Amino acid sequence: MPDTDTRAREHLANERTFLAWIRTGLAMIVFGFALGRFGVALHQFMEMEGRTQKSTGMSVWFGLISIVAGVGMVLLGLSRYHITKTQLETGTFRPAGFVIDVISIVATLLGAALAGYLFLVEKNLQ
């Protein structure tokens, strides 16, 4: 009986991890939409103020990148869920070292790019 309990716990942990991937991906999608919408709203506000602005700046591009990354996270989470499920069933589980490294690097680069963009926007407003 303990073997069945352990197996059930492993699969439930896999499902919880998958749900964490989904939450993270959805958060990135919503964040990207808000960021992109902010650029559009700022552009419209500038037009109402009588200032002409040719584009919405980088906000829309960063928003699109975040949305695509969020969708990628959801798909990657789904893939990782199925791989882990198969590995648990066959007794060949291996941790996802490379996937974790790539996601950490991409998140760091996106965060640094957003920080740099906000710095440039603030500098240009002065």
Could you read off the pLDDT of 93-114 as tens digits, one per residue? Answer: 888 888 889 888 988 998 898 8
Could you read off the pLDDT of 43-97 as tens digits, one per residue? Answer: 777 777 777 766 667 888 888 999 999 999 999 999 999 999 999 999 998 888 8
Measured CA to CA, the distance from residue 122 to residue 126 in angstroms comes to: 7
Rg (CA), the chain: 21
Q: Where are the domains of the chain?
A: 2-94
Instruction: Please count the CA atoms within 13 angstroms of the CA of 94 that sit on its side-chain side.
Output: 6
Which contacts qualify for 72-79: CB closer than 8 Å, 24 or more apart? 72/25, 73/21, 73/24, 73/25, 73/28, 73/103, 74/21, 74/22, 74/25, 74/26, 76/21, 76/103, 77/17, 77/18, 77/20, 77/21, 77/22, 77/24, 77/25, 78/18, 78/21
- Report yes or no on whether pTM surpasses 0.85: no
